[in-house]
């Protein structure tokens, strides 16, 4: 009877899908900063054992680094000052967006390692130009945490 009770609790929990995203931003980057972010991502991914993904495309900017494991994704995108709303004259400034995400529970070891290493590395490299979490720009959507139970 107890075994049946435990199975009714454990089986639904194992069907849960979890998504978590950590966002970072470097504001007013120079071309040398793009190279520095690329190096930091390479070092963090190597220590977290996240392999480099070949290629990379982002519809909103230039992908400058993309590392992907089964349920862990680490990438950076360089946005070159695009206008996002002509009616209100809202422009996105030059910036580098870095994102670390996972879609597994419990948190994979690679995600935990990268999460622990990324903030200090970016903070020491960019100082006051580093934002974590990034401030929302006018007209920009905020991040959400989504939990889906099947």
Name the pairing type of β-strands 83-85 and 72-79: unpaired
φ/ψ (deg, to 5) at 41? -60, -40
The enclosing domain of 81 has a CATH number of: 3.60.90
Dihedral sign computed on CA atoms, order 19, 35, 95, 85: negative
Asked whether the predicted pLDDT for residue 73 surpasses 90, the reply is yes
Measure Cα distances from 104 to 50, 133, 148 in Å: 15, 22, 11
With respect to residue 10, please indicate whether it lies within any of the assigned structural domains: no
Q: Are 95 and 129 in contact (CB under 8 A)?
A: no
**Host domain of residue 79:** 17-148
Per-residue pLDDT of 19-39, as tens digits, reads 888 999 998 888 899 999 999
Tell me what pLDDT residue 6 has.
44
Tell me how many domains the chain contains.
1
């Amino acid at each position: 009877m107890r075994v049946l009770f435990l199975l009714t609790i454990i089986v639904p929990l194992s069907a849960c899908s979890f998504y978590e995203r950590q966002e970072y931003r470097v504001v007013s980057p120079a071309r040398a900063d793009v190279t520095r972010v690329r190096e930091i991502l390479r070092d963090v991914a190597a220590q977290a054992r996240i392999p480099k993904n070949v290629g990379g495309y982002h519809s909103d900017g230039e992908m400058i680094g993309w590392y992907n494991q089964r349920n862990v994704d680490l990438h950076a995108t360089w946005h070159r000052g695009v206008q996002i709303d002509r009616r209100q004259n809202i422009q996105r400034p030059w910036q580098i967006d870095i994102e670390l995400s996972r879609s597994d529970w419990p948190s994979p070891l690679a995600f935990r390692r990268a999460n622990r290493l990324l903030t200090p590395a970016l903070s020491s490299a960019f100082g006051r130009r580093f934002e974590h979490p990034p401030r929302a720009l006018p007209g920009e959507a905020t991040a959400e945490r989504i939990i889906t139970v099947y």
